[in-house]
Amino acid sequence: MTANILDATGITKRFDGFAALTSVDFALLKGERVGLIGPNGSGKSTFVNCITGILAPDEGSITFDANDITKTPAWLRARRGLARTYQIPRPFRGMTIQENIEVPLRFAVGHKSARVISEAAQVILDEVGLGEKADLSPKGLTQVELRKLELGRALAARPKVLIADEVMAGLSESEVDEILALLNRLNAEGISILLIEHIMRAVMLFSQRIVVIVAGCKIADGLPDDVMQQEEVERAYLGE
């Protein structure tokens, strides 16, 4: 029995010969909060895409919740509890905020009555702080509200693991704190979280462990204070 909910080994991904990821190993413990950082273009989103099945890695294997999911399609990974947000939220603009949650919810829980789905969606909207806006269009939402909706859509899959890809970019300090509080609540409810983020204050506050990817290679993995003191990490950030 391993305590890892997620285990990626030797993940390599090339785009037309360009190595976006080179043999990246990564493990997430059950209940853990990990920050993934690295300069722009270092391969963070590509890694998320490989883990969630949007991209097929050229090499490597992935285990999730004690199952080998290396060849499992993205939709089935999601249904088994591996959820992610997208860097650029794209809600269904023609639907209400509530319907935006109901779509992935129906997909995750299968055939349930409209009332059951609606109630479950309301619970999620309350959880992310959009309960009052359920019947509105997402078109009127602010940036921070759009990020909350994006998190709500990920939560609809009832995830065991949540991968949050830059959910705080462009937000004010207090809005960042709101999202952090939300992520911490979800983590306290048992969801393991991988946070990909540029805002170092948030990463340091949130993470129990930090992983650094530079030019597709993992260069550090450890306690936040230790990792941030590593010369190679400092150099990568100064060079940005």
Binding residues vs Mg ion (CB under 5 A): 44-45
> What is the smallest separation between the CB atom of 163 and ligand ADP, expressed in angstroms?
12
Burial (CB count <10 Å: 0-12, 13-18, 19+), residue 195:
buried
The answer for residues whose C-beta is within 8 angstroms of residue 106's C-beta and 6 or more apart is 112, 117
153 in contact with ligand ADP (CB under 6 A): no
Residue ranges of the alpha helices (H) in 88-163? 97-109, 114-128, 143-155
CA distances from 72 to 8, 51, 214 (A): 14, 10, 27
The residue from 20, 50, 161, 203 that contacts ligand ADP (CB under 6 A) is 20
Cβ-based nearer residue to Mg ion, 33 or 44? 44
Is 239 a binding residue for ligand ADP by CB under 6 A? The answer is: no
Shortest spacing between CB 17 and ligand ADP, in angstroms = 11
Could you tell me if 101 and 109 are in contact, meaning their C-beta atoms sit under 8 angstroms apart? no
**How many C-beta atoms lie closer than 10 Å to residue 114's C-beta?**
9
Nearest to 141 by CA among 82, 89, 102: 89
Strands 33-37 and 192-196, by their bridges, are: parallel
Nearer to ligand ADP, 159 or 216 (CB): 216
Are the beta carbons of 161 and 64 closer than 8 angstroms? Answer: yes
Q: Minimum distance between the CB of residue 212 and ligand ADP, rounded to whole angstroms?
A: 11
* Partner from Mg ion, ligand ADP, none contacting 35, C-beta within 5 to 8 A by type: none
Count of residues in contact with ligand ADP, rule CB under 6 A:
10
**At closest approach, how far in Å is the CB of 215 from ligand ADP?**
9
Min dist. Cβ of residue 12 to ligand ADP (A): 13
**Least spacing, CB of residue 112 vs ligand ADP, in Å:** 36
When CB distances are held under 5 to 8 angstroms depending on the partner's kind, the choice from ligand ADP, Mg ion, none that residue 41 binds is ligand ADP
Instruction: Kindly identify the residues of this chain, within the stretch 23-52, that bind ligand ADP according to CB under 6 A.
Output: 38, 40-46
The binder of 98, among ligand ADP, Mg ion, none, by C-beta within 5 to 8 A per type, is: none
Residue 45 or residue 192: which is nearer to Mg ion going by CB? 45
Rounded to an integer, what distance in angstroms lies between the CA atom of residue 62 and that of residue 53? 10
Q: Are 165 and 196 in contact (CB under 8 A)?
A: yes
